Structure 1
């Protein structure tokens, strides 16, 4: 996955959370997107910092898993997350192949 696609997914995630009234992750998501914009190639230092920031948000005790979005049908809720794998395996959290 390239940095443009990863940033798009993160922006989409932020929009979903903001629609639900959750602003807790805005700073972390914005920082991750900034690191990606500073990245020149995949797996360089900014890319690795972006991955680390993401994993901190996704894998922590009070991370992404504490936000519950109850929109649409159960099938609609499962479908988008099944394609999310941005920064490698985060213990079953959103991850979309950053490794």
Structure 2
């Protein structure tokens, strides 16, 4: 296992307002997840994209307002958990 792999976390674990780089979207475990994974990929959660959580709902920190490029999306925590990121992206706009 590489150092990078050990530092990667799921998007739902990323602290608010910290930039990160998308590494991958998890492979779907079942038919229900397949639609979510496809949706996440279609809206731009692809390797190399920078992302950050800009706001969270109360209580339970859900939904998450996630900035991806120049667009903000609302994701449920279980959706964000499917996205693996590397915290500390420096290449954002």
Taking structure 1 as the reference length, the TM-score comes to 0.27
- Higher strand fraction (1 or 2): 2
Asked which structure has the greater RCO (Cα within 8 Å, sep 6+), the reply is: 2
Taking structure 2 as the reference length, the TM-score comes to 0.28
- Higher helix fraction (1 or 2): 1
